[in-house]
Structure 1
Amino acid sequence: MSDLTVSNGTLALAFILVLIALYIGYQEKLKFNKEILIGVVRAIVQLAIVGYVLKFVIHANEIWLTLACFAIIVINAGWNAGKRGNGIPKAIPISLFAIAVDTITTVAILVATGSIKFIPAQIVPFTGMVASNIMVAIGLCFRNMKQTFADRHQQILEKLALGANIKLASIDILRESIRSGVQPTIDSIKTMGLVSLPGMMSGLIFAGVDPVKAIKYQIMICFMLLESTSLGSIISCYLAYKQFYNQQKQLNDELIS
């Protein structure tokens, strides 16, 4: 649909919906108006900047610019995922490593199989899609891991006292943390097509692509997201759990107090 446009007037009318949410929040004293306003302003500024940058990068069609965008997305995702593991030593390097390995692997497979081309118009959106989902999964893993280590402090000490190594003492926490990272992706895929029409498929249909072809692309995205969130969660959890122990293989009480 080449004539599909969104005017400034349309955006202004859509903003009325935000004002309604703000009004309800004020009347009900929900105390989220500040967060909504900050979120709206940040979204407008960030998306405007990204839009103009992407326009330049896509028109330039240079490999080094494509790789630069790839690196920026991965580094930013790793940084934000690491911050969600506040209190876990080396959380940022761990999340950055997991996201970098996972994103490179996933995008490389898609390019190698011919599913996407190595051009900025396709590499940048797919990289953002993969990295953002891994970022959320790792954030959930870190949060669950830290809380569960605190809750099961005594249980872990007992396992260590009975001669278990740190992996055996932590294996239940590892499994639960990995599941917590992957579960949202699994839940969203279960309802895909019945409750939600995913962004990739909807965007392709809007662009005039045959719905059957759009569905095939969306199925590929489902496989990609399942693989990436699973691998990212596994890598980050298996690197992060060791940070809860000191060099003598003892539980670090300072991290879970």
Structure 2
Amino acid sequence: MVKPALALVVVLMAIVMSYLQRLGLEGEMIYSIFRAFLQLSIIGFVLQFIFSQENSAWILLAYLFMTLNPVPNFPLQVCVAGYTAGQRAKHVPRGKYVAGASILAGTAVTMLLLVVLNVFPFTPRYIIPVAGMMVGNAMTVTGVTMKRLRDDIKIQMNLVETALALGATPRQATIQQVKRALVIALSPVVDNAKTVGLISLPGAMTGLIMGGASPLEAIQLQIVVMNMLLGASTVSSIMSTYLCWPAFFTKAYQLETKVFSSD
């Protein structure tokens, strides 16, 4: 642990700068670094155990841990990604469940295609890190999509209500807001794909090169990673818009005003 300990110097630099600029983030920085150390240490031992197992059930268990919302009497389904994305869109009814289901759908479809096409073998050493990258990315995109969609509808309630009064369905009345939310949420993923290799070398590629792999091998993996992130994020974000609609409208196709009355 000598090198990780030495790397704390850059954290100390950030803390000092935060103090000098009076940002008030010093305590949060210390807490976040301590939490990251604790979480990564635990997950390191857990992955070491899972990688040594031959049973594929451990893969599914780890995948569910990262994606699913908590279900009563089933504490193993911990709300990690769904909870975090739902917190971003906390004013969306059942937002945590919507986010969890959307993330699970997007990542599961993408992972299934990768396994069927034999891009990755169905082993813990490949599936768990790949799923982790997809879940994390889909979590961010889904949270932004849900929050932006709700906020846009609130801002343009008069326009949406006019469309509904003229006979439009909820989908027709909010199609522009949905498009805007999806474009805003997916733009960072698309922009990252445009600039990868030119502005920055992503983590997967950098890790392989530092681990001794050839740059050509690292590039092949990074291309796969960028493709899967874009696919999973797109499916998850679109799915979240469909799952949000029932909470935004009444059975009579009217806006559910209580959803948009709080901030």
Same fold, TM exceeding 0.5?
Answer: yes
Cα deviation code 1:79-108 (max 9, x no counterpart)? 222222212112222222211122111112
2:64 alignment partner, one of 67, 71, 91: 71
Deviation at 1:162, TM superposition (A): 2.1
Q: Please name the residue that 1:54 is paired with.
A: 47
User: Looking at both structures, which has the greater relative contact order when contacts are Cα pairs under 8 Å and sequence separation is at least 6?
Assistant: 1
- Quick one: distance in 2 between partners of 1:64 and 1:224? 23
Kept in 1, the 8 Å contact 2:98–2:243? The answer is yes
For normalisation by structure 2, the TM-score amounts to: 0.91
Is 2:235 the counterpart of 1:242?
A: no
Deviation at 1:194, TM superposition (A): 0.6
Kept in 1, the 8 Å contact 2:106–2:234? The answer is no
- Quick one: distance in 2 between partners of 1:203 and 1:14? 17
Number of aligned residue pairs: 250
Deviation at 1:207, TM superposition (A): 2.3
> Where does the alignment leave 5 or more consecutive residues of structure 2 unmatched?
69-79
Instruction: Give the alignment of 1:28-177 within 5 angstroms.
Output: 28-75=21-68, 76-177=80-181
Q: SS of 1:60's equivalent?
A: coil
For normalisation by structure 1, the TM-score amounts to: 0.93
Deviation at 1:237, TM superposition (A): 0.9
1:219 alignment partner, one of 213, 223, 230: 223
Letter in 1 for 2:48: K
Is 2:199 the counterpart of 1:195?
A: yes
Letter in 2 for 1:109: L
- Quick one: distance in 1 between partners of 2:58 and 2:236? 25
Letter in 2 for 1:237: T
Identity %: 31
Cα deviation code 1:199-229 (max 9, x no counterpart)? 1111222222221122122111111111111
Greater displacement, 31-40 / 192-201:
31-40
Kept in 2, the 8 Å contact 1:244–1:255? The answer is yes
> Where does the alignment leave 5 or more consecutive residues of structure 1 unmatched?
1-7
Greater displacement, 209-218 / 41-50:
209-218
Deviation at 1:111, TM superposition (A): 1.5
Kept in 2, the 8 Å contact 1:166–1:242? The answer is no
